[in-house]
Amino acid sequence: MRNNDKPRVVVIGGGTGMPVLLRGLKNLPVELTALVTVADDGGSTGRLRNEMAMPAPGDIRNVIAALSDAEPMLLELFQHRFAAGNGLSGHSMGNLLLAAMTSITGDFYIGIKEISRVLNVKGKIYPISNENMSLHAEMADGSIISGESKIPLANKRIKHVFLSPQPVQPFPNALKAIENADLVVIAPGSLYTSILSNLIIPQVDQALHDTNGKVVYVCNVMTQAGETTGYTASDHVQAICNHIGEKAVDSIIVHNEPINKNVRDVYAEENAEPVVYDTDRLLEMGLQIIEGDIINHSKTTLRHDTHKIAKLLYSIME
């Protein structure tokens, strides 16, 4: 890390896990950059992608909201989703704004930058690529499933994921951010559809190997049906290694407290269970294990606790 400068922290991901991390980190004395997946194809995002041939705005929208210091009412407007029964049904206001700004400026990233300025975003937000792309998965049985939203629904074991059309170009600023980082955080989230959809972009794997910063993976607390059923913590890391090569990840953060039975029962209905963290295998893989109570203990849902995880990540750099 450079003297007298704030540490450079890069967070890679998408879905619901990434904004939780960012909300905590934005209040710390760090130079923060978010690299966000653009492979989503469900709901409002999918419709805008099809109609405008633009990268997926949904995950970017949630990251803008997480990093914004705008008035609560303005943020509520940005995140507003129109009810069913009209031409706007299911669309999110933020997605429409991103689509409009892309149309006005002719460039998805410039659109993100302009909206970030209006909403007083702390830190930088880069799409992992500035292109419209599709995610596909080859399953263990050899079948191919196309479309980010359809992959988990197939409910088959995933062998590997890949993108089309090839070659997808990485966003140059995203690569520079990884290379210059003091800490790279791979966020928790849907392993194949929110996390690996970023890491498999060409040159991103090389940037992760080349960076002088520490690369930390925040492991999911629960498995996800259709993506990681039966996966241990080391299975999550192995999936990353299988896609981008060994030794790309230095450390893993795991939750080490028991999970309330009522919460486990709720998740069991969705065929999800606590991720077992298999210390011996993680150590064999050469990983530093960082453990702690990092979840928000609510009665029905499990989320990483934004302040606990931010504090833990900051302590790694100190």
Q: What percent of the chain has pLDDT over 70?
A: 98
The strand pairing partners of 252, in sequence order, are: 217, 289
User: Which fold does the domain 8-37+128-317 belong to in CATH?
Assistant: Rossmann fold (3.40.50)
User: 74: which 2 tokens?
Assistant: 């303005």
pLDDT in tens, 16-28: 899 999 999 999 9
pLDDT in tens, 59-116: 999 999 999 998 889 989 888 888 876 677 778 899 999 999 999 999 999 999 999 9
- Annotate 155-173 with b (16+ C-beta within 10 A) or e (fewer): ebebeebbbeeeebebbee
Q: What are the residue ranges spanned by the domains of the chain?
A: 8-37+128-317, 41-125
> Quick one: which of 196, 145, 142, 137 has its CA closest to 161?
137
Q: 32-41, 178-187, 300-309: which has the minimum mean pLDDT?
A: 300-309
> Quick one: which of 137, 160, 163 has its CA closest to 150?
137
Confidence of residue 3 (pLDDT cuts 50, 70, 90): very low
Confidence of residue 299 (pLDDT cuts 50, 70, 90): low
pLDDT in tens, 115-131: 999 999 999 999 999 98
Q: Is the full-model pTM beyond 0.75?
A: yes
Considering only residues 261 and 197, tell me which one the structure prediction assigns the higher pLDDT. Answer: 197
pLDDT score, position 185: 97
